[in-house]
A and B are shown apart, each in its own frame.
Chain A
Amino acid sequence: MTLVADPPVVERNAASTVDAPRLSIRGRFIRTSFFSVRVDPRAFGVCAVLAGLIAVFGCWAISVGDFPIPIGEVVGTLLGNPTEDSEFIIGTLRLPRVLVGIGVGAAFGMSGAIFQALVRNPLGSPDLIGFNSGAALGAVVMIVYVGGTSTQIALGAIGGGFVAAIVVFLLAWKRGVKAYRLVLVGIGCGFAIDAAIDYLITRARITDVQRAAVWMTGSLNGRSWDQVRLVGLTLLILGPLAILMQRSLDRLELGDDCAAALGLGVSRSKLALVVIGVALAALGVAAAGPIVFVAFVAGPIARRLVHSPGACIVPAAFVGALVVVVADLAARRVIAPTELPVGIMTAIIGAPYLLWLLMRQARTGAL
């Protein structure tokens, strides 16, 4: 009974629950007098389940390999009770690999969800419209001409990603950017950039070529704590920003005019979202190479799981992480002991979906 101070509020509460049927607005509300936040229990549930699956597959991925480690020992080591063998194999070889996979998947997933919502078309994901290729080109330039420490690769990837994004947007610009123009121009630019990468690799020294080639296929092999720190930092900075922009993104989906009429700074929000999305994709590429189709499939899967009409940036991050971890596990195991690059496995999932989507959009006239 500490709430005696404000009886009218209590009265109005009572009244509104009596004469009005409750509105079934999506989500639950945490509401106090000066603070109200909306949470979506379904999205929470989906993320929790995905997190569980990521943990399971992650442990599995750590346990299998040339020196199998029993799951119990894996869990023990992760919880801080390492045995002598497991400490080196897990701590130095396998854990960073899994963590980079999770981080990169999350970054790609968020980036994809952002761009697909901005373009209002699932084909607008950064790996299809050339941004990832741009980042890869930037990174390869660094490897071939500068030397390629991980910082240099990261900077190169970011630079390349942004240059590609700017070029694609400028070429697609014709009184605003239409989705299909952006997609087509982006795919074209992607091919041109890939050709440029091939050219660079042909001209480069053989040692550089090997390093670049391993990195190019989108492989998680030989990832170290360097890359873990890179993606970790990326997610720590850009993740919260992306989550903050979710509301603007939801409004932008109503159309530019509608969003502006609702009081949104349309150009500013779009610019912020594009910058965040390109940076996420580019840093993901810097850490693990241009793994294709992760950004492309994560957003739509997340939407379907959450049943959400809007972009689900956070669930897409979890889906992306799970896709990469599972794909990497499969890549290591299908023709063991030989390892496939993880990009091949993600392509096996992504390519049929792309074909299906193209057929459907060609039929409905969306493209």
Chain B
Amino acid sequence: MSNLFWIFVSAAIVTNFVLVYFLGLCPVIGVTNKSETGWRLGLATTFVMVLASLAAWVLNRYVLSAAPFLRVISFVVAIASIVQIVELFVKKTTPSLYRELGIFLPLIASNSQVLGMTIFQTNRGYTLVEGLMFAAGGGLGITAVLSLVGGIRERLEFAPIPRVARGPALVFMIAAMLSLAFMGFAGMGAA
């Protein structure tokens, strides 16, 4: 039980997917103008990651032992199909949420966070439940970073920043500070 807890915590903060593994930097630059869009996209990504973790476990267990070189291709296809299904589902059940997420939802398919998570899960040999905890923790960690960066950028909107530092350069400086701050968690739980 405590093992599962530490997998969750370490995926969420100790080895944060964005700040430590550098996964999924495009959405960090693209959608963090506002804190709100940030955490909405984060939650959608978390949902896809949990499903992808399940799919990757099934593939690893029953299919890929025969042909390990097909791993990346089959993960990519599985993730793309999951995103497609989630998109159809959200569109049918809650059209308002679908409109709000807009283009970000299909873009999760091309996001390195989900593929990276499935590969880490395979390399570390997680069981089904461990993998699901890893995916959920990682997704919530991404959500936290997206809303943090979004909040900081909202505050900086009217700050007197030199023209040369506007745009992605500023976002990366913010990310560097956050990454330094998150290093404070290093070694926690010794996971």
* Chains A and B belong together in one complex: no
- Could you tell me which A residues sit within 8 Å of B by CB distance? none
B residues apposed to A, CB below 8 Å: none
